[in-house]
Structure 1
Amino acid sequence: MRARELRERIAAIANHDAAAGITMLFFTLLALAWQNSPYSVNYRAWLELKAGVVFGSFELIKPVLLWVNDGLITIFFFSIGLELKHEFLEGQLSEKKKLILPSAAALGGMLTPALFFYAFNYFDPVSYTHLRAHETT
């Protein structure tokens, strides 16, 4: 296979609608397998590895874990926001009639964990301070 054919195949795969989801699923499974393998010490070491950029006297060097949590996740949610904006303005969610069910599902997805949390922690008001952690996940 020549280099040009290989580039065309990779471009065709990358332009597929499901490519981002499949890539994310693959790397999630890879990380889970790595973390739960005998090589998990190497996984932890990789997450603590320092990485960053240097421009002259300016340095921005942080652990890989921080770059993933604060950088890649930010980009991920930004892209989700752009997709939602597109759907609200021009896509399937631009009509109010089609917006009702997804909105109700989203609201239920936010309220259900909170209601379960309160149901199981009703008599322990101290634990109410931990609700934010459950809501955000």
Structure 2
Amino acid sequence: MESSAYNCDSTSGQCQCKMYVEGRACDRCADGYWNLRREDTANGCTPCKCNAMGTVNNSNICDKMTGDCICKANTEGPDCGQCKIGYYGLDYYNSDGCTPCDCDPGGSLDPVCPAGGPSAGQCDC
């Protein structure tokens, strides 16, 4: 059920919104939520599921239509929870999210290092 004129303030026109929904007409999700639901449910929007270590400003704010999180430069995935190829060590305090491998092209077998596990960041010599 969509917001209706029956639940609006007669002076301001502000409609009574479902949880996590905002706007005068209750037509958008609040920050940290996405997927505005038109059906009759108590929660109008779905919580974002961002990995704060990999998101810009370490936030839990996602695209209000797709639910995709806003990733730091060297992270990827819908939740920004993994390092891009060629990077390792997902870190909350790293402004880019992950550290470049920087494997020496003359001495390493592969320019890409493992992103996780016990050999994370270790170039294969």
Task: Name the TM-score, length of structure 1 as normaliser.
Answer: 0.18
Q: Name the one with the larger helix percent.
A: 1
Task: Name the TM-score, length of structure 2 as normaliser.
Answer: 0.19
Q: Name the one with the larger strand percent.
A: 2
Q: Which has the higher contact order (CA 8 A, sep 6+)?
A: 2
